[in-house]
Structures are given as C-alpha cells and as structure tokens.
C-alpha cells in the first residue's frame, strides 16, 4: 500500500514537472531594419510545447496589404492591425533574410500563468477577436505584450525602465528614426505635433520594443519572488551593416534652400519670380498635408502641429500672387511673415521642438518674405523742398 502511494505521488510530481517544462513562453525582441515599417523594431511572443512538438509565434504586427482601402485607412489613421499565429521557423527566417537582431527572454511563469497567457492568445487569434485599431504610441505590437503581462496575467509585477533624463515621444522617435532610411527622421518630425513633445512616462516608453525588453528585464514574478526572466539569449546577432546614419541628408537640403533664398533675394534675373513661385508652392503643398493630418485624420500624434506656421497652406495662394503689386498680395505676405515670427514665442510657450533642418528652412522663408523699402528718400532733396516754403 505504501509502495502504491509512493508511485502515485511520484507520477503526479513527474507530471507536474513535465507540464512545467512542456510549455515555455518567451518574448522576442527584434532589431531595427532599413525599411520604413521596421524603423522601430518589433516584439512578439513565442510558445514552445515539447509535448506536442510545436513552436509558434503570436505576432501583433500583421496587417492586410490586400485590403483595397489599405492606403486610405493608413493615411486617415484608421488602419486595423491583427494578431496571428505562425511557426517560429517562418517568423525567424524573415529576420535572417533581413539581417536583423533577434533576442529572446524566456519567462519564469507558473503553470496557471502559462495557461492564462496561452488561453488568451488562442482566444485573441480567433476571427472575431484578432483585429485591433493600431495607434503608433499607445496600441501596437510592443504595447500589446505589456498589456498581456500587466492585465491578463495574475502575479506578474512589471517594473518599467526609467530613463535619466526622461525623454519626450519626439525624442524617442528621433533616436530610432535617425538610423532609418534617408529623410524619414525629418519627415516624421515635421508630421507630428505637440502631443509628441509630452514627456513619456516609463510605462509609455514601451511603445518601443527595446523598452519592452528592458522593462521585462527589471520585472519579477510574485508567484515565486524571482525575476520574470528565467534566462535570455541572442538568437540572431545584430548586423553592423544594418545601422547607417543618414541625419545629414535633410540638413544639407535645408542649407541648400537657405543659400538659394539668399541668392533669390539679391538676384535680378528675370526667372527668379518663377523660382520663388515654385518654392512657395512646395511650402504650401507641405502645409496642406500637415493640415489634412491635423484636422481630417484620427492620428492623435499629428494634432496641434506648429510646423504649420512655416509650412503654411496659404503659400499655395501666395505662389500665384506674390509678384503682384496689390494690397491683397501685400496683406498675404504680411500674414505669412507674422506666422514665421510667431513660431518662436509659440515654441517657448507650448514647447514644440523643431529639428535643425526645419529651423534653417524657416530662416530661408523669412528671407524670401521680407521686403525692405525699395523707395529711398533723398534727405538733401527733402531739405531743399522744405526750404522753398
């Protein structure tokens, strides 16, 4: 009888440890790539089951390229992402091809926590549940993993990485985008408004995969009072070829426009008014894009954009009338000039940061808009006229 009880308890204990080892959950953090969509890296969840011999990845970064309304939805901030399940082999092959780093953090979880996570993920990939409204800062592939650990798994105590000094969303975006394809950093800086200049909380830092990784490193599991990460490893090392800085490109363009504005200001060539019209038209079209993103889309980060003060849609009108000697043309010029001047007090009051290329472009526009008096009064002639009376 004692022997039977011993065998029974041994089997139960063996099943317990077998079950614990059978299902292993880890967080994958993927490095930045050279494509626009991979500028900020990626996060995903891996589940390995040694009993069923399955190795799958739950990926919250999927979207439907075949949707005929894909581009309009993307532009309007109404693009829905989805979570899907794929084999780890297929997932990993993409990063091998792109030469992007992949790191893995194997989580220290109890059986019940493991079950909670897998049950939620399986529910989440169902057709009725897999779609979610993407938000660049607050609802993306990285924040979804934090939401899962924070809200759907009992006993996990997340400790968020605290940067010193803390950074704004704009600063965090810049740190990543400056290593992407040319002009992306400046383009994003132009497109985002005052919401991006808010100092991000440690929790909000996790819109970037690298800070999901750092925060999980600091966290622990209350279940056994041990670190949340049992161990970690690099599955694919970073390729040095993938990191290329292109921050000089937009600055060189801005310097060129600034030098061109000086040339235009003092040149008397007959084609100069046409060149000014072309530049004003470009500035105006840029302003129309920013206006659309502010007022007609659901992108929260593009609201309240003070770049509209210099990339002003009114330039579209001014491009066709700037060479007219009329009161209306002069009024429009003064309005545009006032907007440029107002940038600096608005910057001080509201705190929106402007990139260096933008500042040089502002000076270029200022030079194009100023018009010193072209009629000079001869003081001696004025005195002679007075002496006649």
Q: Return the pLDDT at 89.
A: 97
Q: Return the pLDDT at 244.
A: 52
Q: Return the pLDDT at 372.
A: 62
Q: How far apart are CA 315 and CA 282, in angstroms?
A: 8
Q: Return the pLDDT at 364.
A: 97
CA angle 32, 38, 40 (to 5 degrees): 60
- What does DSSP say about strands 54-62 and 131-133: parallel, antiparallel, or unpaired? unpaired
| Fold topology of 21-162+202-242 | endopeptidase fold (from Nostoc punctiforme) (3.90.1720)
Q: Return the pLDDT at 14.
A: 38
With a cut of 70, say whether residue 76 has pLDDT above it.
Answer: yes
Say if residues 154 and 119 touch (Cβ distance below 8 Å): no
Nearest alpha-carbon partner for 176 in 220, 129, 137, 127: 137
What's the pLDDT band for 235 if we cut at 50, 70, 90?
very high
Q: Return the pLDDT at 7.
A: 36
Query: Mean pLDDT in the chain?
Result: 87
Mean pLDDT of 345-364: 95
- pLDDT, one tens digit per residue, over 274-289 is 999 999 999 999 999 9
Q: Return the pLDDT at 71.
A: 72
Diameter over CA atoms, the chain: 137
Q: Which residue has the higher pLDDT, 7 or 275?
A: 275
Q: How far apart are CA 306 and CA 97, in angstroms?
A: 41
Q: Return the pLDDT at 241.
A: 57
Q: How far apart are CA 260 and CA 186, in angstroms?
A: 20
Mean pLDDT of 147-172: 94
* Lowest-confidence pick of 62-76, 88-102, 178-192, 234-248: 234-248
What is the domain partition of the chain in residue ranges?
21-162+202-242, 248-369
Q: Return the pLDDT at 9.
A: 43
């Amino acid at each position: 009888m004692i022997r039977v009880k011993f065998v029974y308890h041994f089997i139960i204990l063996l099943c317990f440890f077998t079950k614990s080892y059978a299902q292993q959950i880890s967080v994958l953090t993927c490095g930045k790539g050279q494509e626009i969509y991979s500028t900020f890296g990626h996060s995903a969840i891996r589940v390995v089951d040694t009993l069923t011999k399955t190795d799958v990845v739950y990926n919250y970064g999927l979207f439907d390229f075949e949707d005929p309304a894909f581009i309009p939805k993307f532009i309007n901030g109404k693009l829905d992402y989805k979570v899907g399940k794929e084999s780890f082999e297929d997932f990993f092959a993409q990063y091998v091809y792109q030469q992007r780093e992949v790191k893995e953090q194997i989580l220290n979880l109890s059986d019940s926590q493991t079950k909670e996570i897998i049950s939620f993920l399986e529910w989440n990939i169902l057709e009725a549940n897999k779609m979610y409204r993407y938000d660049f800062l607050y609802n993306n592939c990285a924040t979804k993993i934090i939401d899962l650990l924070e809200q759907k798994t009992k006993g996990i105590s997340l400790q968020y990485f605290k940067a010193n000094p803390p950074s704004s969303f704009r600063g965090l975006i810049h740190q990543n985008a400056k290593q992407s394809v040319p002009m992306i950093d400046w383009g994003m800086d132009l497109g985002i408004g005052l919401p991006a200049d808010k100092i991000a909380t440690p929790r909000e830092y996790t819109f970037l995969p690298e800070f999901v990784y750092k925060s999980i490193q600091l966290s622990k599991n209350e279940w056994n009072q041990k670190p949340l990460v049992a161990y970690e490893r690099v599955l694919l090392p970073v390729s040095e070829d993938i990191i290329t800085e292109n921050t000089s490109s937009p600055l060189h363009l801005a310097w060129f426009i600034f030098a061109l504005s000086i040339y235009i200001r003092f040149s008397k060539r007959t084609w100069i008014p046409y060149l000014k019209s072309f530049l004003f038209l470009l500035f105006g079209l840029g302003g129309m894009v920013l206006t659309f993103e502010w007022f007609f889309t659901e992108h929260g980060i593009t609201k309240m954009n003070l770049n509209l003060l210099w990339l002003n849609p009114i330039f579209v009108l001014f491009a066709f009338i700037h060479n007219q000697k009329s009161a209306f043309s002069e009024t429009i010029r003064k309005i545009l000039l006032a907007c440029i001047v107002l940038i600096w007090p608005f910057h001080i009051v509201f705190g929106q940061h402007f990139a260096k290329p933008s500042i040089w472009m502002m000076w270029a526009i200022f030079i194009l808009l100023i018009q010193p008096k072209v009629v000079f009064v001869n003081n001696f002639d004025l005195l002679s006229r007075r002496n006649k009376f």
